[in-house]
Each structure stands twice: as structure tokens, then as C-alpha cells.
Structure 1
């Protein structure tokens, strides 16, 4: 038993890195295949099938090599381990026969002793197999626990409280400084106040920090300086559930689950009735096209909503947000990926959705900025221009320049 234990210890030290390498290669291969299948149209569009096939084959060979290495170590070690463990049978029989010849033991006693030996050595063989399974499980579990044990960048503070109801929706960014790399801040001492029920559009170049403001309000990350408040309460003092129920985000990349229209719309509020869903679809301007679908509300939308157009997906997302009944609505480029006709329908639906709610609108499209009560233009991590659209247009500053550029672009089209 001591010899077997020492051999298994040496085997574990040698085989563990091989099993880990095999699991790493399997993860790399699975990630590559999943990624390329999701972007198969891009692969086809640039005729990159052969190159992608070569990459998959190379990772497959690496996985095969790592697996063969682990099996080789196993097949070299296990026969020797079993030989050593079964050598006890030889010692048992040889010693028993010698004792019988010396008159110190009986044949019946040896047979009984041999029978008990089977019960002893059988579990040792089982332990050898179980040990190998444990090494494989350790390699897989290690990758799983790397994810499970990863520290959360944003956590609720001890004693965090729920946002008091009713929520008015007043949003304030007070001298906020933030950078994904703290040494290179995206926002530099930014201050912005959004009154309850006010619609504010955020304009600016890519990387100016517009979407970052939405992430700070919903606590996707926390600022390095200053604070963000909702109804006068620091969002870091609130429970994440109550904060994110009160401030709903609508992303530019609308995600729909592989489920029915009904279940996708009421994902935000599962207890909502079919009648409430229908009312939300009416406000979102989606009721007509949903009624035309083969099974209406029970139509499967496909993975990520692949069976619907971009405009249809956006309108379903509007209905989903509407059903959640948030006090503050956070729109992150909701019309950036749709055509002009769909944009007009979506803007009309969003205008109905924003009625009576606080809205923070991140956009490059001026169609949404024009329906806002106020526009804030960001540049270099600060607000460089702020005011109602009509006032900024007359002032002839950055907002006016953006409108003029949009007008020229439309004329060229």
C-alpha cells in the first residue's frame, strides 16, 4: 500500500499538468468554434473559410496531442501500479504455503485468508481508477473555479438599502471622474443634473464617455472620484436590484432569447399578463408586425432574434422596457443599427415610452436629440455645451455643427 501510494503521488504530479493542458485546449477550441459560428456571415463575406478551418484543425491537433500525452502517462503508470498492488497476492500465497510446510498454518486458513485478501485489494484497484477520475475532475474544476472565485468589481455595501418608492427619477453626476484605466480617465470632473421627468440627450464623439455615464448610474462600475445619485441617494448605498429596476437600460445591440415573443417581452416582469404585453406592444409600435407573425405572440424569434429584422427587435426591446415600468430610462444608441424607415418608427415609439419618465439618451442620431428637453455635448471627458436643442442650434456651437453635418449628409443621400 505504501508503494502504491508513492507511485500514485508521482503519477498525479506528472499527469495533472497534462490534464490541465487538455482542458485548456478544449476550452480554446470550443470558444473559437462558438465565436466563428456566430460570425459565420463575416467569415463567408471575406472568404476566410479555409483559414478558419486551418485554425480549428491546429487547435484540434493541440488538443489531441495533450490528450495523448495524458493517456500515455496513464498507460505507463497504471500497469506498474496494479502489478505492485497485486504482488501482495504473490506474497500472500508464497508466505501461506511456506507456513503450511512449517506446520504453522492450515490450507483452510490460507483459503480463508486469500478470500479476505480479495476484499482488501479490490478497493485498492478501485481507488487507483478513482484517483485518475479525480485528476481529470481537478483539471476541469480548476477552470470552473477560476470563474466562480473571480472577485466582483462592484459589490453591494454592507447595509445597502432599497430605493424608496415612488421613484421620481432625478439623476445627478457630481464631479465624477472615471477611467477604465485609472491613469487615463474617460470622465474628468463631470457634473450633470437631470431633473425628474426630463429628457437629456448626450452627444459627442466615440470615446467621449457617453455610454460610461449609463454604466456608472447602473453600477456596472463605480467612479474613482465624485458620486452618482438617484433621487438624492448615492447609488453605491442602494441595493443593485432596486437600482436596476428603477433605471432600465436599452442597448443598441438588442438581445432576444431563443424563446417566444411573449416570453421575451415579459422577461423584465414575468408575472405580466398577455393583455399587458399586448398593451406594451401597442405603445412600442410592434403590435402590427407581431400579429402578422405565424403564431403571433407564441412565435419563436430564433437565437438572438435572428428571425426578426433589426427594427423589429428594437421595438420588442422597447416593449420589454415599457413592461418593466422604470422611473428612469437609459437609451444607449437605440437607433444606430437600423434604417431610416425603422428609425422613424423607433423614435416615435421611444417618444411614447419616455413620456413622463426621466430619460438619458446616448446617441449619434440627431432624430432622438431633437425630441429631448436638453442636449449635453461631451468632449474630452467634460460637458462643453449644454442647453435645449433650439437654443444650441441658434448659438452656432458644436451642436449646431452636428446638425449642419447631418443635414449635408442627408442631402448627399
Structure 2
């Protein structure tokens, strides 16, 4: 198991990246609805973030944009010229860039059969994302095709909403060891929809063959969802033996912490009090939608968006944390403003997979040369801007499809065309 590490798979931002404001409960997405987007800049920001992680010595992978517009989905909906514009915009959505919603992942050390299990998320709560999973599943089956080491599952039945790793955390002394898997779900009936259903999480835990003694199901605080924490990773993130969380992340914080202590002795909770950082500041800055990482140096690092530095309360708390003797030793800042404006921070852009990188299809693993190749294709073919009034335009559709095709050709992944 010596070659097993955590690999972050980031979504390359697709050429149809736009601000149609389709995600109810995602305050940034709805606030910026109708604004002009910058797909080229968005994709380049994403690659720069991946380069940032590689520079820390971390393994980095990627997933590709899905085919857009999804004309097959529009045909299923029997669309015509009078169709609701939101449905048309849904066919153009580039939301698959947020690969934290691609799947839920259980490393081999946690599962009964000793394989790394991945279950693609059905994303049924939001129409614009509900048609992602078949194409995402194709990529997962290709990237993790080694059947001796990986088991890739189809989506949970659509009766139960599943939003993937954005509502799943793992606590363990080190990535390759057996860990405590924490599934966070929401209760329906609040101001915004609760996207992760408890039964979806339990289905995944059973299908992955998890030991219930090392599994925890926790309710997200309704007030967090109402404040715009549409996924748990907007208010909490875990890495190895550390849970970094807002005081109001969970419906029963003390009970959650006690259960973690009982099932994962030695785990540390770094709780940010609401008196220092309000839920509103946590959501607007995406303090917790950060990447909490352990680089080869061993000093745990929090990678936050630029918006955290611009929020006085958040930045003051982070500086005070660093002056202490806590487990998080460094804070690094990245610019992902185009993603942030659509409601996705650094953590949204990545799916964590604990595995030996050599067992993954090499075409999905990033290095400096491949990053330069992606940047070259994006700079040449991605639209510079998209106004929401252009959504549905046949000329723009041709541009978007051509751009994706050029990227797949450059990366030798044309079987995904």
C-alpha cells in the first residue's frame, strides 16, 4: 500500500460555462444569474489551481467537460421553440466542472472486498444536473477500469437524491489506513431543498461494503442549508485526522463530535465559532469549501479562494488560527473567481480518490506538460465570453462542441466524443 496516496481529480471547466442561475439554494449562482461569464478564464483558473497543488508535490488528476448542449436530454423533454428557457439552459450547463458531485468514493482500506469503490451521483434534485451522471459514469469507468482495484457503481435509484462527495467526509490517521466515513444528509421541508437524502447515503455505504462500526450518518443543520450551504462541504471539510467545521454545520454538533471521537480516536475538531465567522460570511467566502490537504512536507494546508482574504472576519480568524498551535499549519490562496461566481469553490472543483496513481488510466493524470497542452487548447478554442442571451444559439453550440472535441483529441480521449 506504499504507493497509495490521495489524488485530487479536478473538473476542467467546460466551454459552455455560463451564469444561468439554475441552482436553487446556491446563493452565488442565483445572485449572479444573467451576468456575462468568461469560460476561457474560468478554465485557465482551474488549471492554475491544479498546477498549484502539483507544485506542493500532490498527485493531480482531471475529468473532462461533458457533451454540451445535451441535445438528447432536450429531445427526451420534447422541447420546442416555446420551451421554458431554464430547460434549454439546463442542457448547456457546465456544472460537471464541480467534480465533488461526480461520485462518492470509498478507498480500498475501508471496503469489504479491498477495492476502491466509486458510486456516480444521480444529482436528481436539480434538473440541470440530473442528466450528468451517464456521461460522468463513462469517464469513471474509463479512468478506473482496473477491475482488480476499482469497483464503479451506477447511480442510486432516483427516488433518493445523491450529490456525491460534497456530502461525504473521511477521517483517518493517514489516507492509506482504514478510516471513518462520514455521510451528511439533509432533512426536507426547509427554505431550500435538502439535496442529500439519508437513504441514498445508506445505500452507498452498503454497496461499498463499509463496516458500520467505521461509518457515521449525520444530519446537516437546517439553518446551514437555509443560509446557502446547499452541500455539506460549504460548512465543513475533513482531511486525515482533522475535521474543520463551522459551529452551525451539523444539527447536533456535540453529538457529532462525540461520535467521531468514539469511532476515530485521536481525530481533532477545529471548530469556527459563529461569533467569529457568521454562516453568511462562511457561505459568501467559501471558507470551508476549501481544499484541506497534506502535502509531502506533512504540514496540513488549507487552500482557500481569494474571497476569504477579502472577508475581514474570515481572514482575521484564519490568521489567529495560524498563530496558534493547531493541526492546520498553512493557508494558501487561489483565484477561482469564475467558479465562485457560479457557486463553487476549490473543494467543489475536485473529487478525492485514495489510490495508487499507477492504477488509474494515465490519460486522466496531470503533469506540467499536459497542463500546458490543456491551457493551449483552452486559449485557442474556448469562448472568451458567454452572455445568457446566447444560450441556445446554434453558432455558439458549434463553438462549444468543437472546443470540447479539440480537447479530447489533444488528450487522446476521443472515445468520449
Would the TM-score normalized by the shorter structure come out above 0.5?
no
Q: Comparing both structures, which one devotes a greater share of its residues to strand? A: 2
Q: Which of 1 and 2 has greater Rg?
A: 1
Taking structure 2 as the reference length, the TM-score comes to: 0.23
RCO comparison, higher one (Cα < 8 Å, 6+): 2
